Amino acid sequence: MKILVIEDEPEMRRLIKQFLTEENYIVEEAADFHSGLDKISAYDYDCILLDISLPGGSGLEILQELKNMNKADSVIIISAKDSLDDKIKGLDLGADDYLTKPFHIAELNARIKSVIRRKKSEGRRLLELGNVKINIEERLVLINNESIELNRKEFDILVFFGMNKSRIVSKSAIAENIWGDYIDQSNDFDFIYSQIKNLRKKLRDQEADIDINAVYGMGYKLIFK
């Protein structure tokens, strides 16, 4: 995943880049309005972290330019301004999220994953996994054309596995993507095990073509029977 950080504070930029690089993102930087504009004009990014107050211009103008270019880059505004007007303008211009400084870097990471996940799911309202059909928009799951009841977390976990089929996903990846900002309220991953256990039972009871296998020491993987 490729991230662009448009932020004029050097220390803030350094901290964000260091953390996201450790999370295996490719991170590029821009310290002012004009360099940020040059970057978005020349390249595509999975997510842009955008400050509003920049030397040489406003981050809102960069948002407008992204809109003019019909760019699909996800954008999270990171700004010290806590003005409702700024937030509304940013969201109206196409920003996906808004985070007010100061913020916890782990929360920023969760927000990035959330907007990227939402962007990936756009245009994929229906996932088909063998005899399992998942309507993401209506939060409906059909197995052999019969609906089954899943709680909210079971549904989100099933969608996450469906979008990462054939990949081994770690417990921490599941937790960060499904629970987001609330993950730090738990001391362990027992709650993930419980949700997956219940989901697997429901899939098996309805003779689904898919199952979720535990991969020792690594996490879980969606498989086709």
pLDDT at 124 over 80: no
pLDDT at 40 over 80: yes
User: Are 143 and 46 contained in the same domain?
Assistant: no
- pLDDT at position 165 is 81
pLDDT at 169 over 50: yes
pLDDT digits 0-9 by tens, 180-192:
544 444 445 677 8
pLDDT at 57 over 90: yes
pLDDT digits 0-9 by tens, 99-114:
888 888 888 998 898 8
Dihedral pair phi/psi, residue 190, rounded to 5°: -60, -35
How far is C-alpha 62 from the chain's CA centre?
A: 22
Would you call 74 helix, strand, or coil by DSSP? strand
Structure tokens at 144: 């052999």
Q: Which of 67, 86, 121 is the last residue of a domain?
A: 121
Range name among 14-18, 56-60, 84-88, 196-200 with the lowest pLDDT average: 84-88
User: Are 110 and 13 contained in the same domain?
Assistant: yes
User: Are 99 and 139 contained in the same domain?
Assistant: no
User: Are 35 and 116 contained in the same domain?
Assistant: yes
User: Are 103 and 196 contained in the same domain?
Assistant: no
- pLDDT at position 94 is 85
pLDDT averaged over every residue in the chain: 86
Average pLDDT of span 146-166: 89
Alpha helix (H) residue ranges in the chain: 10-22, 33-42, 59-68, 84-92, 105-121, 152-163, 171-179, 190-205
Where does the pLDDT of residue 121 fall: very low under 50, low under 70, confident under 90, or very high at 90 and above? low
User: Are 113 and 48 contained in the same domain?
Assistant: yes
- pLDDT at position 126 is 81
User: Are 84 and 190 contained in the same domain?
Assistant: no
Domain that residue 57 falls in: 2-121
**CATH number of domain containing 198:** 1.10.10.10
Q: How many domains does the chain have?
A: 2
- pLDDT at position 186 is 47
pTM, two decimal places: 0.57
pLDDT at 123 over 60: no
**CATH number of domain containing 100:** 3.40.50.2300
